[in-house]
């Protein structure tokens, strides 16, 4: 690990970009949230649990979770994102579901579906992690039974240094040969629900990276909880 590497943003190697989290931002949704980390911003809206149709898809033992991830046109580097599902958006939708399901008690909602829509109006790396963070807050805001939050952020290797929360500039350093590893974590158990890798990293460095990113993920979970507390404490205050 190179301790001499200086990040373009002047952040410490284990420092995330500034974080903003807010619950209840979409009035007509059953639950919703906004999560922003640096210049990457995600909105999530939850609808359900509601009866699943067609009925042959229903499971009398459990409900199902469906995530739909999409980036809005011109949300990234200025190039237009083609409307509609893409291979990338389908893949991120699927991994988002897999990251969130372990904290949910879907068996409490048989024959139903919970739909989560994740939209990215602007991105600068870390979009799937921001989407998972927003979705976790939105699911809790919808009143669904959850074991804990799910927090997500990337860790990567750039010019020999392991760093937390790569931004767009850092992702493209080393002529696109850097390593980007999105990680999602259940803070209370430290169970990893998402671990993906883009690039090459030695096994020992991967183990170090996972240990390095855990404190940042727990801090993100604190921000998620603060967003929920703020919303509901405000509502209680307004009712008094």
d(CA 23, CA 227): 6
- Give SS3 for 194: strand
Q: Which residues pair with 62 in a beta bridge?
A: 59
Least confident piece of the model among 20-24, 120-124, 149-153: 120-124
Q: Express each pLDDT in 25-35 by its tens digit.
A: 999 999 999 99
- Is 151 in contact with 136 (CB distance < 8 Å)? yes
Over residues 173-197, mean pLDDT: 87
98 CB contacts (<8 Å, ≥6 apart)? 193, 194
Give the position of tokens 């995330």. 16
Read off the pLDDT band of 200 (50, 70, 90): confident
* CATH class of the domain comprising 19-239: alpha beta
Tell whether the model's pLDDT for residue 238 goes beyond 60: no
180 CB contacts (<8 Å, ≥6 apart)? 125, 154, 156, 166, 171, 197, 198, 199
Q: Mean pLDDT score of the chain, rounded to an integer?
A: 89
Over residues 195-222, mean pLDDT: 90
Tell whether the model's pLDDT for residue 240 goes beyond 90: no
Delimit the domains of the chain by residue range: 19-239
What is the per-residue pLDDT for 157?
Answer: 87
d(CA 185, CA 93): 17
Least confident piece of the model among 10-24, 28-42, 137-151, 201-215: 201-215
Give the position of tokens 């990234």. 76
Read off the pLDDT band of 1 (50, 70, 90): very low
């Amino acid at each position: 690990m190179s301790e001499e590497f200086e990040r373009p943003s002047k952040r410490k190697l284990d420092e995330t970009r500034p974080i903003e989290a807010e619950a209840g931002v979409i009035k007509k949704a059953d639950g919703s949230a906004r999560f922003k980390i640096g210049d990457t911003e995600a909105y999530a809206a939850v609808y359900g649990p509601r009866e699943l149709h067609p009925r042959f898809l229903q499971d009398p033992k459990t409900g199902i979770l469906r995530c739909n991830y999409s980036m809005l046109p011109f949300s990234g580097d200025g190039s237009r994102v083609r409307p509609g599902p893409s291979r990338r958006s389908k893949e991120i939708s699927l991994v988002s579901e897999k990251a969130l399901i372990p904290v949910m008690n879907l068996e409490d909602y048989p024959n139903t579906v919970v739909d989560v829509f994740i939209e990215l109006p602007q991105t600068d790396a870390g979009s799937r992690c921001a989407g998972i963070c927003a979705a976790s807050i939105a699911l809790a805001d919808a009143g669904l039974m959850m074991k804990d939050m799910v927090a997500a952020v990337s860790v990567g290797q750039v010019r020999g240094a392991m760093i937390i929360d790569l931004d767009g500039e850092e992702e493209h350093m080393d002529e696109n040969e850097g390593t980007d590893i999105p990680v999602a974590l259940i803070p209370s158990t430290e169970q990893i629900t998402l671990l993906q890798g883009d690039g090459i990293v030695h096994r020992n460095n991967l183990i170090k990276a996972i240990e390095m990113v855990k404190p940042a993920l727990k801090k993100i979970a604190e921000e998620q909880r603060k967003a929920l507390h703020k919303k509901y404490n405000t509502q209680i205050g307004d009712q008094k």
